Amino acid sequence: MVPEQDVIVVGAGPAGAIAALVLARVGVRVRVLDRARFPRFKLCGDSVNPGALAILTRLGIAAAVDHALPVDGMIVTSESGTRCEGRYGGQQGRMISRHRLDHALLASARAAGVCVEEGVLVQAPLVDEGRVRGVVLARADRQCRLRAPIVIAADGTSSRVARALGLARHARHPRRWAVGAYFEDAGGVEGAGCFGEMHLRAGRYIGIAPLPGGVTNACVVTADRAALRDPARLLGDTLRTDPQLADRFAGARMITRPVCLGPLAVESTASGVPGLLLAGDAAGFIDPMTGDGLRFALRGGELAAHAALAALEHGRADAHVLLSRMRRREFASKWRFNRALRALAGSPLAMRVASRGAHWAPRWLERTIRYAGDAG
C-alpha cells in the first residue's frame, strides 16, 4: 500500500507548521495532524524576538506578524530594585498572541499545499521492524493507522510520540510551572510600552508582554507546587503585592482564565529514531525566561525539514542522527546560556550577586539581553 503522504507532521504549532511549509515548498506531500482546532489559546510569553523575526522574513512569511506590536528590547528587574533596560542593538522583535501567530503560520503552510487535519488525536507512533512508519490516531469513534516514510513529532512538551519511544521526559530539577493570563483595563496596563519585561524574584519570576489593543500578557513561573492549587489567586496576588508591579496592576482586569503549564523543562535523549524526527518542544524545552522559545521552534522546524529531505531524497536511514548534529551546531551555545540563567534564577545567592553586577555594570546585562534576543 502506497502512503498518501511522504511526511506526517504531528503538531500544528510553529515548529510543525514551519517544517511542513519548508517541505511542501519543494514538492513533498505533507499531512499535518493536531488535536486542537485553530485558532486556539496557547500559554506563551508571546515574544517573537529579532532572531525569530529574521527567520519569518527569510521564509517570506513575516506577514504573520504584520499586526503585532514592535518591541525594542527587554526590561529586567530584581527584587532589590535594580532595573536594566536592554535594547536589541537597533533591531526589533514583535509581541503577538500565540493564537494569532499559530493560526497565521498554519495558514501559510496550507497555502503552500500542506494538508491539515484539525481535531485529530495522535495516540502513538506506528512502529514496524524497529522503524517508525506512521502514526496511530483516533478519528471519531475509530482508531486508524496512517503511514508515511517520515514522521516529524512537533506535538509539544508532553509529546505522545516522543514519550511512547522513551525519547523525552520532564527534567528532575529544576521543576517549575507557569501560570498566565491576559489583562486589560481602560487604557491597557499602566507602564506597558515597547519592551518585554522579566521580573526576577526569590523563588519565581514574572514575565510581562504588552500586546496590541491595550492587552497585556502576564505570567508567573514558580517552583511552589502548592500555590498551583489556585492559579487565579497565585497570579493575582503575585502581581498586586509585588512592590514594582502593584500600582500598575491595581486596576487591571483579568480577561482570560488563568492557564497552568508544567513542569516546564523537558529533556530529550535523542532527536529521533529511524523514521522519526523531533521538532519544537518535543525535542527538548528549557524554562522560557529568555524569550527565545519561538526562535528555537521555528529554526528547529526548519532543521527537521532538512533532515526529512535528506531521508526522502538520498535514502538516509540516519536522518535522526543528522538532525541531532544540526541541532547541536545550531543551538549548543544557546542551550548552555539558557541553562546557566535557569540555574541562576533558582539560586537566591546567585540572584543577589547578579543583581549587584547589573547595578554596577549594566552593560553586562544589556549584552546578555541582546544575546537572549538573538539580536546578532
Residue 71 forms part of a structural domain: no
Q: Are residues 12 and 105 in the same domain?
A: yes
Query: Is position 64 within any domain?
Result: no
Q: 234 and 166 in one domain?
A: no
Q: Is residue 66 part of a domain?
A: no
Q: Which residues contact 369 (CB under 8 A, 6 or more apart)?
A: 73, 74, 76, 84, 86, 87, 88
What's the whole-number mean pLDDT along residues 103-119?
A: 97
Buried b (16+ CB within 10 A) or exposed e, 251-288: ebebeeebbebbbbbbebebbbbbbbbbbbbbbbbbbb
Whether the predicted pLDDT of 346 surpasses 60: no
pLDDT digits (tens, 9 = 90+) for 244-291: 899 889 889 999 999 998 888 777 888 999 999 999 999 987 666 667
Residue 61 domain-assigned (yes or no): no
Residues 250 and 282 in one domain: no
- Span 192-212, average pLDDT: 86
Residues 135 and 206 in one domain: no
Query: CATH no. for residue 365?
Result: 3.30.9.100
Domain with 277 in it = 7-46+97-172+264-345
- Shared domain for 317 and 357, answered yes or no, is no
In the chain, the largest separation of any two C-alpha atoms, in whole Å, equals 68
Residues 189 and 314 occupy one common structural domain: no
> Who has greater pLDDT, 77 or 290?
77
- Considering the domain architecture, whether residues 191 and 152 belong to the same structural domain is answered as no
pTM: 0.91
Q: Is residue 92 part of a domain?
A: no
Q: 295 in a domain, yes or no?
A: yes
pLDDT at 192: 60
Within this chain, do residues 254 and 268 fall inside the same structural domain, yes or no?
Answer: no
As for how many domains the chain has, the answer is: 2
Is 256 found in the same domain as 334? no
Q: What is the pLDDT of residue 257?
A: 93
The answer as to whether 78 is a domain residue is: no
Together in a domain, 234 and 271: no
Distance CA 263, CA 344 (A): 18
The overall average pLDDT reported for the chain is 87
Closest CA to 13 of 282, 305, 290: 282
pLDDT in tens, 14-28: 999 999 999 999 999
The length of the chain, given as a count of residues: 376
CATH of the domain at 146: 3.50.50.60
Residue 67 belongs to some domain of the structure = no
Same domain, 246 and 273: no
pLDDT of residue 375: 75
Are residues 117 and 21 part of one domain? yes
- Pick the range with the lowest mean pLDDT from 16-30, 60-74, 190-204: 190-204
**Beta-bridge mates of residue 248:** none
The tens digit of pLDDT for each residue in 309-338 reads 999 998 889 999 999 999 999 998 888 887
